[in-house]
Chain A
Amino acid sequence: MPDLLLAVRNVRAGYGEAVVLDDVSFEVPSGESLAVLGRNGVGKSTLVLTIMGFTTLIRGSLVWRGEEITHLAPHRRPRRGLGWVAQEREIFASLSVEENLTVASRPGRWDLAAVFELFPRLAERRHARGHHLSGGEQQMLAIARALMTNPDLLLLDEPLEGLAPIIVEELTAAIRRMTGEQGSTLILVEQHADIALGLTEHVIVLERGKIVHRGRSRDTLREPVLLDRYLGLTLSDSPPASGP
């Protein structure tokens, strides 16, 4: 059985007095991938922010490799092995691609050469400043920058949002390589449920801050009623992506 990386236990969290997540529990073993799905505003991004330590955690605990990290400062979490790509990308606009990557660099298998191999487009634009990149390139840079921290677990918050289909394909292929060949552990928050289910092994579905479904991604793809009810997704509208 693979090592347990992250355990989220009975988490109730939000922003100040406002509670967004309630009694959320799940586990992420090493080398596995988890999709977090749900409609807009159900608490998907809040869940990621809570794992990274940027929300008010009212109750519950976060356990990382058997060690409680519930109250660990946000900047110490990447040092333990948690990597995060924010929904807003938030690359450093005036820094070059190379500088954006170097600023995050920590020892490990992901270095400049490795991320440039994963995203050849970034290698071509290594001297370009962040604000000169297209939306797709910025998203690649955001993912590559998170990889440069050499995370044991990578949290991707809606990495495909607002991107052209060709870029979505390119990023999907990169994520598939990360989870497949590289064996990276991943939590993928995504609006594109069909793509996310095709990229991951497990899934949880959130509704009003609570987990309303959990299971294997492959099996969930075969539950049209559930997909329609919680995600508003009719699979005939979009072809399913191939599994990991």
Chain B
Amino acid sequence: MATVSLEAVGGAHGYLRAQTRWRRSEIAFWLATLLPFLLFPAYLQLASQIAITALFAVSLDLILGYAGIVSLGHAAFFGLGAYTAGLFSKFGWGEPLSGLILASALAGVVGYAASFVIAHFRHLALIMITLGMGLLLQEAANSASELTGGVDGLQGVRMRPLFELFPFDLWGRTAYTYSLAALFLTFLVARRLTHSPFGLSLRGIRENAVRMPALGAPSRTRVRQVYTIAAAMAGMAGALLAQTTLTVSLEVLSFQRSADVLVILILGGAGRLYGGVLGAIIYMVARDQFSGINPQYWYFWIGLLLIAVVLFLPNGILAGLDRAAARFRRRSP
């Protein structure tokens, strides 16, 4: 029987500290995000959209993958951030960073208000409520067409150069740098959160929300906190899209966007943070390629990809890669 040296056992906080250590694969991944500047300079706009989608997926992962809050209306916060940043710019405040922070904060405030409802429900009821919230906000934006532009989209979005030095160019150099920096910094926050006692308690809530109070964790308070954080992050992603594309359409609030980000998370692997990022890369690149092959029926291939992943990699691509790596390590002498 195997024995474990008790001296080797760190305290509970030692365990969490060990989890926060950066792995070489992580460092390599973040260094690789700089490669588009060198290898694909013509695709920096796409890279920027991938970074934005990845941020949106990470925000969903916090609530779905970690806390078990199923949402089909997460685009509500994305759209709120996009319209806030777009409207700020349209009415004269074109400074990107402050617009980004304000849009994120507003989405966070709305998320906090919504969290009081969200924290009382689980599973199917949550799907209905979040779906309803998304549809409500989309229709509200549609009916307020004088402000939002309705189905024509918000016109007149103008951004000042980043730090008054770097204009948002056609090639997407500034856009990608800006989006990637926002993704990285937000990812650091999410990573720290998920490797903290708070993050571990979210996973406990996902497993059994009713029993977590017996361990001293107030489930509903934790749900409200993480939902607010996730809403702020989704709002930031939306604001980035508005600022880097200079357009905001009703699509940012659509059910399709909520469903897409869910698909992305399932593809990559929920509850792993990097799953959302990987899912966004694969989904966005596949969409770009498939729509190039067939502009009308490209969703067919996305559907096929999703079915294949669920059948053969039920916990997502990242979990599949993890398993393959573990098998490889076991076989290596």
Contacts and interface: CB of A to CB of B under 8 A. Distances in A.
A129 to B, nearest CB: 11
Interface residues of B, number: 29
Contacts of B211: 86, 90
Nearest to B10: A112
22 contacts: A75-B212, A75-B217, A75-B219, A77-B216, A78-B215, A78-B216, A90-B211, A92-B203, A103-B204, A105-B12, A106-B216, A111-B11, A111-B12, A116-B6, A117-B6, A123-B3, A123-B6, A123-B9, A124-B1, A145-B215, A149-B215, A149-B216
A105 to B, nearest CB: 3
A116 B11 CA distance: 11
Given A90-B208, A103-B203, A124-B2, A113 B9 contact: yes
A78 B214 contact: yes
Contact of B15 (A75, A98, A146): A98
Given A99-B203, A103-B197, A104-B215, A116 B208 contact: no
Contacts, number: 93
Contacts of B201: 103
A124 B4 contact: yes
B323 to A, nearest CB: 14
B12 A101 contact: yes
B36 interface: no
Given A99-B200, A103-B200, A116 B214 contact: no
Given A75-B219, A95-B200, A102-B15, 14 more contacts: A52-B214, A75-B212, A75-B214, A86-B211, A95-B207, A103-B201, A104-B215, A105-B197, A112-B9, A116-B4, A120-B4, A123-B9, A145-B215, A148-B12
A94 interface: yes
Instruction: Report the interface size class on chain A.
Output: 35 or more
Nearest to B204: A103
Interface in A61-92: 73-79, 84, 86, 90, 92
A116 to B, nearest CB: 6
A69 B89 CA distance: 54
A145 B215 CA distance: 8
A93 interface: yes
Contacts of A76: 216
Contacts of A53: 213
Contacts of A145: 215
